[in-house]
Structure 1
Amino acid sequence: MADDPPLVLDVDGTLTRPEGWGLDPRVFDPLCGWDAPVVIATGKAFPYPVALCHFVGIPELAVAENGGVVYAGDEVRVVGDREGARAVVEEYRAAGYDLGWGPEDTVNRWRETEVAVSRDSPEEPLREIAAAHGLEVVDTGYAYHVKDPAPNKGDGVELVADRVGFDPADAVAVGDSINDVSTFAVVGRSFAVSNADDAAREAADETLTEAHADGTLSVLERVRATSE
């Protein structure tokens, strides 16, 4: 049997249950048995993909915070600067708005390069304030991410590939959101799950008929079958 291809997988909307929240445990076994690098590329804070790798039982290869933090098993590379995002949040709060996560805010507690705002919070004033600070707001479908425009998942994937030693052109990616577009641009094959937004659908080589983890599992079965 030929080697499995390297994988680049988003988390929310891609490895989640059909209803959209919580990891689907069915993805654990195929990923644990994958004989090529598996890169978890997510908008979540760095501890989340690291923990996922631990629980699945695969090497820690993570692109977190939409490319702001990258880890390939050697050193943690912090690519973005959170000071600008913090300034946006201070101004947003001063205008009377809230991030929407409650007083403990575990969504942002461990973030190093960006700030995530609940989609229940007003979007337009957030975008206006961010633009005034030279930052962008990325709507992933799960949160508004206030970030430096420069870091992205695709660049993070290329950095991991260089450190680990695989060609991104050999990799297969699955995602669901605009923040996966840069990943799709650097890999050899890309798939958008059926619940993906328009940007991801347009950028992917193929849009699947299945949603969430069902779609990802169908890709794993397909690319493993064709590698045999």
Structure 2
Amino acid sequence: MKGRLLLRLPLPCSRHPPCPHQTFHVHGCWLAVEGMFLIFIRLAHHMQWLPEGWCPSVVVIDIDGTITDGKKHLSTDAVQSLRRLEEAGIPVVLATGNVRPVTYGLWRFLGLSAPMCCENGGVIWHPSWEAPVLRAKADEAKEAAVWLAKHIVGVDAQGIATNRWRESEWCLFPDEPLEAIIEAVKESQWSHLSVVRTGFAIHLMEPHLSKGEGLRYLFERMGWSPDEALCVGDAPNDLPMFDFLRWSVAVGGAFPAVQEAADVVSPHPHGATFPPLVDAILARKKGDAP
């Protein structure tokens, strides 16, 4: 666990009722507790975002659920923070389950410079490259979706709107019956496909696809070391990049398995994680923090 301190306390929130098991990874904080509820927690100057003596030279981020909220609204705080990283010479990689057109639009308007890892590592691309690197095709996943729709009530083979641009996988709606889909795929001719749920889709994809393997290709092409990189995510499809890269941060509101796997769990939801995280990175880069 890399020396982390986990505090599991009920946390009152202005937007949500108290949650019984919100997790924070903190360093040297002090608490005042009244009854069952936390009434004060001093985190601003005590959150240990980075390992001592280390600063990332590359930052990798998920999009949906990480810099957006549950309504898919983009965090303007995250936008400003990511631009600060780029201005400081730290490239930001978008590593997402989303499609290349959506990712490119965000990449362009954020003012980023690094290649993109789209469709859970199925598509690697930079606008300066002659063509995208397609690490799989969507054909089998789409065929599996059509078959599933014939055998399971509630499955829509057309899937989510961005399927019209998908190049390497196929996505069903996130509220469709996941367990039934997993079991049906296991017993079908598409049993080799992976089924991965995020907060926004159920991904059907070839087993060699993952953000970790996509980033492995990207990092090798760029001449970067995974030991230089920090990543931020929220969902199970982020776990392979947590394993591949040196340091991982789960945003507040991340899936429990992602919180458990992360080196740091943010006390801030979604995009609100980025201002203090980037402050810590830039302070370390300037030598203002140990």
Asked if TM exceeds 0.5, the reply is yes
Aligned counterparts of 2:242 and 2:150: Cα–Cα separation in 1: 38
Q: Are the aligned partners of 2:148 and 2:157 in contact in 1 as well (CA < 8 Å)?
A: no
Which residue type is aligned with residue 67 of structure 1? G
Residue 123 of structure 1 corresponds to which residue in structure 2? 178
User: Is 1:7 paired with 2:65?
Assistant: no
2:265 to 199, 207, 221: 207
Which residue type is aligned with residue 15 of structure 1? I
Aligned counterparts of 1:143 and 1:191: Cα–Cα separation in 2: 22
Residue 11 of structure 2 corresponds to which residue in structure 1? none
Superposed CA deviations along residues 177-210 of structure 1, whole A, max 9, x for unmatched, are 1111111112121101121112211221111111
User: Is 1:41 paired with 2:92?
Assistant: no
1:32 to 57, 68, 83: 83
Superposed CA deviations along residues 99-147 of structure 1, whole A, max 9, x for unmatched, are 3878xx5221100111111122222332233222121210112211111
2:136 to 75, 80, 90: 80
Residue 49 of structure 2 corresponds to which residue in structure 1? none
Which residue type is aligned with residue 120 of structure 1? D
Structure-to-structure mapping, 1:23-172, within 5 angstroms: 23-33=74-84, 34=86, 35-59=89-113, 61-72=115-126, 73-74=128-129, 75-95=131-151, 96-99=153-156, 105-131=160-186, 132=188, 133=190, 134-172=192-230
Q: Indicate the structure with greater strand content.
A: 2
For residue 227 of structure 1, give the secondary structure of its aligned residue in structure 2.
Answer: helix
By relative contact order (CA 8 Å, sep 6+), the higher-ranking structure is 1
Q: Are the aligned partners of 2:251 and 2:266 in contact in 1 as well (CA < 8 Å)?
A: yes
**5+ residue gaps, structure 2:** 1-54
Residue 16 of structure 2 corresponds to which residue in structure 1? none
For residue 209 of structure 1, give the secondary structure of its aligned residue in structure 2.
Answer: strand
Superposed CA deviations along residues 2-25 of structure 1, whole A, max 9, x for unmatched, are x862110001111014x5522112
Residue 237 of structure 2 corresponds to which residue in structure 1? 179
After TM superposition, give the deviation of residue 59 of structure 1 in Å: 2.1
> How many residues are aligned here?
224
Aligned counterparts of 2:81 and 2:56: Cα–Cα separation in 1: 11
Superposed CA deviations along residues 33-56 of structure 1, whole A, max 9, x for unmatched, are 321221100111121211111111
Q: Are the aligned partners of 1:70 and 1:77 in contact in 2 as well (CA < 8 Å)?
A: yes
For residue 210 of structure 1, give the secondary structure of its aligned residue in structure 2.
Answer: strand
Aligned counterparts of 1:12 and 1:218: Cα–Cα separation in 2: 20
Shift in alpha-carbon separation, 1:49–1:85, aligned structure 2, 3 A = same
Superposed CA deviations along residues 197-227 of structure 1, whole A, max 9, x for unmatched, are 1221122111111110011332222111111
- Computed over aligned residues only, the root mean square deviation of the Cα atoms, in angstroms, reads 2.2
Aligned counterparts of 1:167 and 1:97: Cα–Cα separation in 2: 44
Structure-to-structure mapping, 1:188-199, within 5 angstroms: 188-199=246-257
For residue 145 of structure 1, give the secondary structure of its aligned residue in structure 2.
Answer: strand
Aligned counterparts of 1:217 and 1:15: Cα–Cα separation in 2: 11
Superposed CA deviations along residues 65-98 of structure 1, whole A, max 9, x for unmatched, are 1111112442411112312211111112223544
Which structure has the bigger radius of gyration?
A: 2
Aligned counterparts of 2:117 and 2:232: Cα–Cα separation in 1: 14
For residue 231 of structure 2, give the secondary structure of its aligned residue in structure 1.
Answer: strand
**5+ residue gaps, structure 1:** none
Residue 43 of structure 2 corresponds to which residue in structure 1? none
Shift in alpha-carbon separation, 1:4–1:128, aligned structure 2, 3 A = closer
Q: Are the aligned partners of 1:192 and 1:208 in contact in 2 as well (CA < 8 Å)?
A: yes
